[in-house]
Amino acid sequence: MQSFQPPRRILMGPGPSDVSPRVLAALARPTIGHLDPEFQKLMEEIKAAMSRLFNAPDHACVPLPAPGTAGMEAAIMNLLEPGDRAVIAINGAFGGRMADMADRAGAEVTKVEFEWGQPVDPVKVEEAMKGGPVKVLAFVHAETSTGARSDAAALCALARKYGALSVVDCVTSLGGIVVDVAAWDADVVYSGTQKCLSAPPGLSPIALSKRAQAAITGRKTKVRNWLLDFNLLMSYWGGEGGRTYHHTAPINALYGLHESLVALFEEGQQAVLVRHARTHESLAAGIEAAGLKFLVDEPHRLPQLNAVIVPDGVDEAAVRSYVLAKWDLELGAGLGPLKGKVWRIGLMGASATPWHVRLCLSALCEALEAQGFKTDAKAVLAAADAKLA
């Protein structure tokens, strides 16, 4: 057993995205205690930065000590008690996961299903909301499995209209497209660190409205989860009146998240969103010039997650293996019904640059050629470049 030296990789899958040298360096700073007064200051800075990034000034914001799925589980398990009704929109893998969790919480789950690649249709969701009291309306803002963006404002408004609490999965959206918790009047919103924040995986930033907090403190039954029980967590992360030991926070991972937030605000929240949008336009121009098509219609496309349809006669996995072997480039595969049918190309955080677009298009053209699918690589790059001129 020897020290592990990772190979060079260019990360353009569905996450993790490339982690910048400054964030990697932050991870390696000396570990201090999780109850240290200096660590408390770090925690407060992270909470404040998350609140700013989510635009959630009135929400409680904390980074949960586990990957993005923990945010989903915390939202579902804290809000739902046995017998509660939950309406869950499913337009990809992650909506389905929410429904599974709600079932484990003992809730009655009403699934509202859509074809993978389509956004959630609020009209269809409203029909489901009408059938009796609903405790939670949950949906995915940016479906990582398909690259479709849903209308979070409209869906959160529906939740308010029917007296339900909204749960919004922003794992892939935060830092890549507008996430505006205050404007949406959303209740529980969570994300991950390994997508557009470009920190390593392992943490899940989450924001809870006052309504959500009241629902949790007023539960009749214990949350079916100890590590993610907000009744316990909030006194660990709460700044005023001292902290109560709960778990041991993942210190060094939090150094990394903090540094990624410092970098994001240095660049500017708006500038980061514009960079994601422009990089996507460049990639999309190249993809189309190569004769390839997107899974998702243009108005609903996420800039940071591009699901590209595998052309007839091309071996999906062989293309990914080729670009990994020849270009150290990681692209994502399709999940579930999209397995073998799409590639998922991430343009997230530090991976959303013109350099990444050019590398990806070059590698993809070469891999397609190797499969007998003709492309004009020069024209493809020219089309991509033109969007950035």
* Binding to a second copy, residues 47-66 (CB under 8 A): 48-49, 65-66
3-class secondary-structure state, position 218: coil
Tokens, residue 90: 């499913």
Strand pairing category for 329-333 and 305-309: unpaired
User: Is residue 42 within the footprint of a second copy (CB under 8 A)?
Assistant: yes
Residues in 170-199 that interact with a second copy by CB under 8 A: 192, 194
Residue 147 or 200 having the CB closest to a second copy: 200
Residue 54 or 184 having the CB closest to a second copy: 54
Q: Specify which residues 293 forms β-bridges with.
A: none
Residues in 315-334 that interact with a second copy by CB under 8 A: 324, 330
**Least gap, CB of 31 to a second copy (angstroms):** 4
If you count them, how many residues does the chain have? 389
d(C-alpha 362, C-alpha 381), whole Å: 7
Residue 6 or 132 having the CB closest to a second copy: 6
User: Is residue 220 within the footprint of a second copy (CB under 8 A)?
Assistant: no
Residues in 243-302 that interact with a second copy by CB under 8 A: 245-253, 255-256, 258-259, 261-262, 265
Give the per-residue contact string, 221-240, with a second copy (x = CB under 8 A; - = no). Answer: -xxxxxx-------------
Of 347, 279, 303, 259, give the one whose Cα is nearest residue 11. 347
d(C-alpha 234, C-alpha 246), whole Å: 9
User: Is residue 38 within the footprint of a second copy (CB under 8 A)?
Assistant: yes
Q: Which residues have C-beta within 8 Å of that of residue 100, sequence separation ≥ 6?
A: none
E strands, 123-267, are 136-140, 142-143, 148-149, 165-169, 188-190, 204-208
Residue 102 or 284 having the CB closest to a second copy: 102
**Least gap, CB of 266 to a second copy (angstroms):** 9
User: Is residue 169 within the footprint of a second copy (CB under 8 A)?
Assistant: no
**Phi and psi of 330, rounded to 5°?**
-95, 120
Residue 26 or 383 having the CB closest to a second copy: 26
Residues in 325-384 that interact with a second copy by CB under 8 A: 330, 335
- CA 25 to each of CA 246, 256, 297: distance values in angstroms, whole numbers, following the listed order: 28, 8, 39
**Least gap, CB of 206 to a second copy (angstroms):** 14
User: Is residue 34 within the footprint of a second copy (CB under 8 A)?
Assistant: yes
